[in-house]
């Protein structure tokens, strides 16, 4: 069994990153389809597609919060389990898995109750109008029932990838995505269920993924197993895991808050069409974010394991390779978006007005995308090495210190077109946030390597 994990410390870094990153990258690309395929189908519903798309877009803050709680537990616990594995401490690695499993179930119960009884109030506060609230509420009423499946699938899949089972992690996402893509047109158009059909297809597919993930972690092939004795919560196990996952949680949960800020400002200056365009822009942003996160997740087990085993050269070499690949991808996607925005926007709508407006908005919104490979690589580097405070600092800096104030400040400065001024807040915040992250990571990374060298 020991041999199952030793490859993280012995195989050539380039070959190993390729082996782990391709499945995790594929998983994120599949997950991207998972997230956007509903919107693609909904946007093309005859007569009401544009309004329905805007309504479902207003649901995104709530959906992001559900996902954020999953990564709070899973993405905090998984790197710590990898570090324990590098230290040959299987007992604490399995306790971390068991504690995180129990925590995710408790979180899912609370979230389900809150969403079922309060979603309409939240949706109206998050930018739904009289024209779109019926579509938003119809989607969330059904989606809320599947909260437990989202929590366990996203959270526990991180533990599968952290052990080096990247292909299995990819299959976890693939199963749900394929089922979702097949069921969507059947429920939305065939059974004439509209947005309700999209939500139902989503929770059924998430349930199938959940069964796959839980079965694997209870099975014989995994190195770390879910065991009842490890489900009793221990402060020394679960609290450091939550602390490490807090940065990722802030990044995702703050996306929810930021979406609310964007929607409220855009509704004020540009109306429903501007809010609908924001749904498209955040969907296209996933084309950038999710693959970058997939690359980072492929590197995480290598970084964490070798940091725990005090293999300085492998930690340094892995991060450098991750940085090069991440920056390369970000630059290529940025060029595609700036040169051919209509291709991306037309995937989500056939409405002429929304298409024309969305092309300009997309170019503005993603103007600094070429820098984002640096941000994600450094963020994953902090998490992989267990640097919880630094992870939290960079997350808070970009979202709360920079972006939220700029959403309200820039439209007053860019008075010629206040709506585009709202979108312009994103690239301005990205520029300063990436610069800050580079400086902080460079300093902290050197100190972390010196610590294990001693």
Burial class (CB within 10 angstroms; exposed 0-12, middle 13-18, buried 19+) of 169: buried
Q: Is 1 inside a domain boundary?
A: no
CA angle 212, 218, 223 (to 5 degrees): 105
> SS3 helix, strand, coil % of the chain, rounded to 5?
85, 0, 15
In this prediction, residue 6 has a pLDDT band, given cuts at 50, 70 and 90, of: low
DSSP run (H or E) holding 378 = helix 372-384
pLDDT in tens, 270-327: 887 888 888 888 878 877 777 888 788 788 888 888 888 888 888 888 899 999 999 9
* pTM, full prediction: 0.67
Mind giving me the DSSP string for 222-252? -SS---GGG-S--HHHHHHHHHHHHHHHHHH
427 closest CA partner among 356, 364, 379: 364
Predicted pLDDT at 35: 64
Predicted pLDDT at 427: 95
User: In sequence order, what are the residues at sequence separation of 6 or more whose Cβ sits closer than 8 angstroms to the Cβ of residue 91?
Assistant: none
Contact 88, 293 (CB under 8 A): no
| Residue 451 structure tokens | 């610590």
Listed in sequence order, the DSSP H helices in 87-146 are 90-125, 133-143
Residues in the chain: 454
Q: Is 116 inside a domain boundary?
A: yes
| Residue 383 structure tokens | 């998490």
In this prediction, residue 3 has a pLDDT band, given cuts at 50, 70 and 90, of: very low
Q: Is 3 inside a domain boundary?
A: no
Q: Is 142 inside a domain boundary?
A: yes
Contact 182, 198 (CB under 8 A): no
- CA dihedral (251, 151, 81, 216) positive or negative: negative
Domain region containing 97: 10-453
| Residue 4 structure tokens | 């199952």
Q: How far apart are CA 6 and CA 414, in angstroms?
A: 56
User: In sequence order, what are the residues at sequence separation of 6 or more whose Cβ sits closer than 8 angstroms to the Cβ of residue 422?
Assistant: 262, 265, 266, 269, 270, 274, 407, 410, 411
Q: Which of 47-56, 114-123, 426-435 has the lowest mean pLDDT?
A: 47-56
Better pLDDT: 103 or 165:
103
Mind giving me the DSSP string for 321-375? HHHHHHHHHHHHHHHHHHH-HHHHHHTT---HHHHHHHHHHHHHHTTTGGGHHHH
Count of the separate structural domains present in the chain: 1
In this prediction, residue 2 has a pLDDT band, given cuts at 50, 70 and 90, of: very low
Q: How far apart are CA 256 and CA 249, in angstroms?
A: 11
Between the alpha carbon of residue 427 and those of residues 334, 363, 418, 422, 431, the distances in Å are 12, 10, 15, 10, 6
358 closest CA partner among 441, 284, 289: 284
Phi and psi at residue 232, to the nearest 5°: -75, 120
Q: Is 4 inside a domain boundary?
A: no
Taking 90 as the threshold, does the pLDDT of residue 134 lie above it? no
pLDDT in tens, 213-243: 999 999 888 888 888 898 888 899 999 889 8
Q: Is 131 inside a domain boundary?
A: yes
Phi and psi at residue 126, to the nearest 5°: -90, 5
Q: Is 5 inside a domain boundary?
A: no
Taking 90 as the threshold, does the pLDDT of residue 332 lie above it? yes
Taking 80 as the threshold, does the pLDDT of residue 254 lie above it? no
């Amino acid at each position: 069994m020991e041999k199952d994990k030793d490859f993280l410390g012995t195989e050539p870094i380039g070959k190993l990153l390729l082996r782990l990153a391709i499945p995790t990258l594929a998983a994120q690309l599949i997950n991207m389809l998972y997230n956007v395929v509903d919107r693609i189908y909904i946007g093309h519903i005859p007569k009401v597609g544009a309004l329905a798309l805007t309504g479902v877009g207003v649901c995104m803050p709530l959906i992001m919060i559900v996902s954020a709680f999953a990564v709070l537990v899973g993405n905090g616990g998984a790197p710590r389990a990898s570090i324990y594995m590098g230290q040959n401490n299987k007992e604490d690695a399995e306790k971390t898995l068991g504690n995180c499993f129990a925590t995710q179930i408790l979180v899912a119960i609370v979230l389900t109750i809150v969403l079922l009884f309060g979603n309409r109030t939240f949706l109206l506060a998050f930018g739904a109008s009289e024209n779109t609230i019926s579509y938003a509420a119809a989607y969330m009423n059904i989606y809320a029932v599947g909260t437990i499946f989202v929590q366990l699938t996203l959270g526990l899949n991180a533990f599968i990838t952290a052990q080096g089972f990247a292909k299995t992690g990819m299959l976890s996402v693939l199963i749900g995505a394929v089922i979702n893509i097949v069921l969507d047109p059947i429920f939305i158009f065939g059974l004439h269920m509209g947005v309700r059909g999209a939500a139902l297809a989503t929770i059924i597919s998430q349930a199938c993924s959940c069964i796959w993930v839980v079965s694997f972690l209870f099975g014989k092939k995994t190195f770390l197993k879910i065991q009842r004795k490890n489900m009793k919560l221990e402060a020394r196990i679960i609290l450091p895991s939550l602390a490490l996952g807090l940065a990722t949680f802030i990044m995702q949960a703050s996306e929810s808050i930021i979406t609310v800020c964007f929607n409220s400002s855009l509704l004020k200056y540009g109306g429903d069409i501007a809010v609908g365009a924001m749904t498209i822009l955040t969907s296209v942003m996933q084309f950038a974010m999710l693959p970058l996160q997939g690359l980072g997740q492929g590197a995480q087990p290598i970084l964490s394991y070798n940091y725990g085993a005090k293999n300085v050269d492998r930690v340094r070499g892995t991060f450098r390779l991750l940085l090069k690949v991440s920056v390369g991808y970000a630059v290529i996607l940025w060029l595609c978006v700036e040169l051919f925005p209509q291709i991306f926007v037309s995937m989500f709508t056939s409405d002429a007005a929304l298409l024309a407006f969305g092309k300009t908005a997309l170019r503005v919104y993603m103007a600094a995308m070429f820098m984002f490979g640096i941000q994600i690589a450094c963020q994953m580097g902090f998490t992989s090495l267990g640097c919880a405070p630094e992870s939290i600092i960079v997350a808070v800096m970009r979202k709360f210190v920079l972006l939220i104030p700029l959403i309200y400040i820039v439209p007053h400065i860019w008075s010629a077109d206040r709506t585009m001024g709202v979108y312009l807040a994103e690239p301005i915040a990205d520029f300063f946030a990436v610069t800050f992250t580079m400086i902080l990571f460079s300093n902290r990374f050197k100190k972390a390597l010196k610590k294990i060298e001693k």
